[in-house]
Structure formats: C-alpha cells, structure tokens
Structure 1
Amino acid sequence: MPEDESLPERIRRKKNQLSVSQQKVARYCLTNSQKAGTLAALRIAEELEVSESTVVRFAVKMGYRGFPDMQAAIRRAWESRAEEEQPVARGQIAGKAADSLRVDLNSLQQTIAALDLGRLAGAADALVKAQRIHVCGFRTSFSLAFLAEFHMRQVHRSVRLIDGVGGTQPDDVALIEPDDALLAFTFPVYDDRTIDTIERAVDVGAQTVVVTDSALAPLPIARQLHTLTVRHDSVTFFNSTVAATALLNALVVRMVELRTDAEPGFEERITDHFQQKRSPARDRP
C-alpha cells in the first residue's frame, strides 16, 4: 500500500472488508476529520458506541502502524487543506448563517482537492455515449436531479428524469436498457428508491454515474459504476448541495467539450440557442 495514499482512498479500496462497527469508524473519520485527528481512540469509541479496540483495529486494517499513525495522517491532511483555504473574517457575518457559509466553502474546497479528474472525465464520456440518460435523486437530492436533467437535455439527444410522480418509479426504472446511462444522486439517509434504481442499471449493464458522499455509500460493485464523491456537510438538519452542484456543473461542461470535439461548433450553437431564448428587457421610463 503506498505510504502517501490518503485515508479516503484506503477506505474506498477496503470498504467491503470492514465490519459494521468499523464502517462507523470509517464514516466518522471521513465526515469529522478534525475530531478524528485530535480525540483519543477511547473518546471516538464512546461517541460511536463501539469498543476502543474496534477503532484501533480499523486503523491497522487501513494499513497504518496503529491509531496514532492514522491520526497523524488525518491531521496532516486537514492541516494541508486549511493552508490552501482563504480565511473568512468572523466579524463580517455573525451566527449560524456565517457558519453555514464557511462550511459550504470548506466543503467545496475539500471536494475540489480530492476530486479525481480522470474519474470525472470517464463519467462524462459514459453519459455522452449513452443512447439515453436517466437521472434520479429523491428527497434533498431531487433538486440536483432536476437541475441535471435540465442542463443535460441541452447536451444530449435523450434525457429522462425519474421523479416517481404517481408511483411510476418502478415503471420508469424498468425502461433502463444496457445501452443507456444512469446519473444518480444519493446522500445520507440513502433513499431506497435511488439505490434500487442504481442496482437495476448495474444489473442490465448500463453505465452508471453516482454522485454521493463517501466510499461507504451502499452501492453495488461493478465495472460500469462511476462513483464521484463530494462533501455534503451542513450546520443543521439538511444535506448541503453546494459541492454536488459544482461537480454537476463541471460534468456538464466536460460533456459540452466532448460534443464539441465530435461536432465542431456545437458549443457556439448551444450558446446562441440560449441567448436567443432570453427575452429582451423592456424599456423603462
């Protein structure tokens, strides 16, 4: 195992070897990196209601010499990210609203730092080449799915939003074919409808792109599965969609690039198309 391999990368490779208790530790390290990098193993165990030995065994399972070695790696990772971040003056805005803005900014920066651009390019290529793109996301992820469908139908000849209105979700999922692609958004709490849709797409051999929070998402293992992880931290009850929206934008931009490579002038045509749709501003007295 490479010494410089990050903890998220190690978790992604070994997630299927983890016990239920070790998965709790893994999720804690991914979503509470500052606490994981400072608290004693016993304190982490108490918070997660697991044994201290489970925390220690998890560190060894990840390829570290022990818990202190893993903790030092976690600290180095978030200290490195902190150095790259531009500080926001606390006095500018007060209260939880300011905390929310800072968390969204940090989530976006951490997502960019950890993003595998090769994986992003592969996902865009799979979507562009598909006969038809199906898009799904439920609960707080529905806004992401709706936005994805809106943008991608300008770039691809056939895009469908699986929205489940009228209880049609099983029927919509049954329409996924091997030459199609699925773009799905799922975050904790992972909606069963999204997971069922992903499993159907994988079963029929369709290229499947999933935007989620970590390697611990309950996804099937398949060669045609493209997983893109983003941070979704929030200071309150809902998942933040800031980083996921930015990644979606990047995905669409790459799709436009691929279409333009194959059809010179495509980007100009689509830009002109949108500009012509804009209503001219009315003269005001």
Structure 2
Amino acid sequence: MMIDIKAHIQEMLPQLSRGKRKVAEYILNNLEEAAFAPAATIARQAEISESVVVRMAVDLGFSGYKDMQENIQLFIRKRLWVADQFRQWMANEAENADGYLRVVEQDMQNIQATFKKIPPDILFQAVEMIVKARRIGLAGLRGALGPNIIFYVFLNELLGNVNLLTPGIGISYDILRTWNEQDLVIGSSFLMGKNFTLDILRFAKEKGCQTIAITDKPDSPLVQKADLTLSVCVDGPFISYTAATTLFNVILYLIGKRLKNKAIASLEEIAKLLDEEFKKQYNEED
C-alpha cells in the first residue's frame, strides 16, 4: 500500500540517528532521484555508507531499500494527476490562436517515439502471443479503457476469443479463474500506480497465464508482472491515448496479415451478420 512518503519521513526524522537523518533529508530534497537511483548512489550523495541507507529504509517500516524505492515511485506517479499535467502544459503554451496545433504535433511525436521505442521483434512477438493464445483478456481502466474497447471489438472479430476485463463484483476474476499458460492477459495502464490492471496481471500470473503490459513508464509496476512490455508515449495536455490506439491498429493489421484468408473470412462473416441485423431492424421499423 502506498503511503505519503514525504510526510512519513518528516514524521520519523526525530527518531533517526544522525547518519540516517542525513540520508532521509537528502531523499526528501531529491525525491525524483531517489525514486530510481540505487542505494549506493544515494549513499555517495549523502556522504554515508550504503548499509546506513538500507537500515534507514527498515527503520521507516519498509522491508528494505527496494521496497521504500517502489513506494517513492508510486508516490511520484500518484502526485502527477491530470490537473498537474494540464497546468504544466498551459504554462508553456504560446499566446496565439493556433496553440491547439501543438496538441496535434505532440500526438504525432508520440506515435513516432512509440514505434522507435518498440523493436520490431518485440512487436512481432506480441502478435505471435496473441494469435497463439487460447483465450485473451484485455484489462484497463479510465482512459485506457477507451483504446481497449476499440481493440477488443476488432480483435474479437478477427479471433473470436477475446474478453474485456473490467471491474465488477469479481467478474474479471471469475473469468480468469480457470485460465492457465495457454491463455494471455494484456494490461494497459498509464501514469498510475497500484490499480485494478496491476491486480489483474498479478492474478493472471498466479494462474500461469502469459502477460503483456502496455504502459508509458519503464518502471511501471505492470512491467514486473509482464512477460512482454510495449512502451507507449502519452505526452500532451492530458494523457494522450493516440499512440496506444495506433499501436492497437498496427497489431490488428499484423494479425490480419498473419492470418490472411482466415482473417478476411472472419471479417466478411461479421459484416454479413451486421448487415442482416440492420435489415431486420429496418424492416421492423417499417
């Protein structure tokens, strides 16, 4: 469970020894660095031994330095809400009528940067995992749910074995209850800490399922629960899901290309069913 690490350290400061207090104060003043730097680096900067850094983390109630660092990472991520992101964006906004074009340019940059970060072999590996899976689950909340729904609709039209995993009274866990190594769960989460998507990936791993994480941070907790990670850029005045949607479109294309005639036949069957349903409803209205 994430705690307010800054408030916790400040509360515990009087109880720490001089050396540990020195480390704690350095972390308070350099929280972003402490979120990713190894204990040896913090020790060097605070001019103290590495063992003191580790013992200080234990004194604060953590199992060790890594446990404290993970909490700091979650704290930083939770602190950057959409309002903060929007405020930072507006602070750099030029005072002109065409300022909105900067959003378009950023989305284009996000797409380009995303596909530079994802090596082709990793992308093709993700496609193979999806095609070979007996069943597929898609997990995502809030903004990530939008791209997930689009992906779910068309992926299910291609494969017919996809489940959209959303919060409910145990419904997602009920779906995964009988899944195993033949099945695949894909979790999408951006700028978030511990949440439903992380819990779903953790449960899927416990069941032996294969897992793919789609996230914007290399240090995201989702990465630890994933067999494969696809990194997406989400920069913008709000969290941008343009690159994530494009990634899903590319995956759908590669799956269709991989399945060839089978994919075309499946899409034609869906089109026929939709056409028949449309005609049925149209006639009933008449």
Same fold (TM over 0.5): yes
Stretches of structure 1 that go unaligned for 5 or more consecutive residues are: 1-19, 21-45, 62-89
The equivalent residue for 1:267 is 263
TM-score of the pair, normalised by structure 1: 0.60
Alpha-carbon deviation of 1:204? Answer: 2.2
- 1:197/1:54 Cα in 2 relative to 1: closer, same or farther (>3 Å)? closer
State the distance in 2 between where 1:94 and 1:188 align: 28
Q: Do 1:131 and 1:179's aligned partners in 2 also have CA atoms closer than 8 Å? A: yes
The equivalent residue for 2:228 is 226
Within a 5 Å distance, the mapping from 1:23-62 to structure 2 comes to: 49-50=29-30
User: Once superposed, what is the RMSD of the aligned Cα atoms?
Assistant: 3.5
The equivalent residue for 2:110 is 107
Larger Rg: 2
- 1:272/1:101 Cα in 2 relative to 1: closer, same or farther (>3 Å)? same
Residue type of the alignment partner of 1:127: I
Higher helix share: 2
Residue type of the alignment partner of 1:94: D
- 1:275/1:188 Cα in 2 relative to 1: closer, same or farther (>3 Å)? same
Question: Which digits, 9 at most, give the CA deviation of each residue in 1:77-103, with x for residues without a partner?
Answer: xxxxxxxxxxxxx999612x2221111
The equivalent residue for 2:153 is 150
The equivalent residue for 2:98 is 94
Instruction: Select 1:122's aligned residue among 125, 138, 147.
Output: 125
Within a 5 Å distance, the mapping from 1:119-198 to structure 2 comes to: 119-166=122-169, 168-190=171-193, 192-198=195-201
Residue type of the alignment partner of 1:157: G
State the distance in 2 between where 1:53 and 1:231 align: 21
Q: Do 2:194 and 2:221's aligned partners in 1 also have CA atoms closer than 8 Å? A: no
Q: What percent of counterpart residues are identical? A: 21
Alpha-carbon deviation of 1:226? Answer: 1.1
- Between stretches 116-125 and 202-211, larger displacement belongs to 202-211
Alpha-carbon deviation of 1:172? Answer: 3.4
Structure 1 counterpart SS, 2:159? coil
Q: Do 1:134 and 1:176's aligned partners in 2 also have CA atoms closer than 8 Å? A: no
Residue type of the alignment partner of 1:248: F
Alpha-carbon deviation of 1:149? Answer: 1.1
Alpha-carbon deviation of 1:147? Answer: 1.3
State the distance in 2 between where 1:115 and 1:148 align: 19
How many pairs does the alignment contain?
Answer: 200
Alpha-carbon deviation of 1:157? Answer: 3.1
Residue type of the alignment partner of 2:156: R
State the distance in 2 between where 1:52 and 1:140 align: 25
1:202 has 2:205 as partner: yes
The equivalent residue for 2:245 is 245
State the distance in 2 between where 1:166 and 1:120 align: 34
State the distance in 1 between where 2:218 and 2:163 align: 27
Residue type of the alignment partner of 1:233: D
Alpha-carbon deviation of 1:125? Answer: 0.6
State the distance in 2 between where 1:133 and 1:102 align: 34
- 1:273/1:169 Cα in 2 relative to 1: closer, same or farther (>3 Å)? closer
Alpha-carbon deviation of 1:178? Answer: 2.3
TM-score of the pair, normalised by structure 2: 0.60
Question: Which digits, 9 at most, give the CA deviation of each residue in 1:215-253, with x for residues without a partner?
Answer: 11113546x711000101112xx3110001111111111
State the distance in 2 between where 1:214 and 1:195 align: 14
State the distance in 2 between where 1:242 and 1:144 align: 9
Alpha-carbon deviation of 1:114? Answer: 2.1
State the distance in 1 between where 2:122 and 2:97 align: 37
Alpha-carbon deviation of 1:127? Answer: 1.1
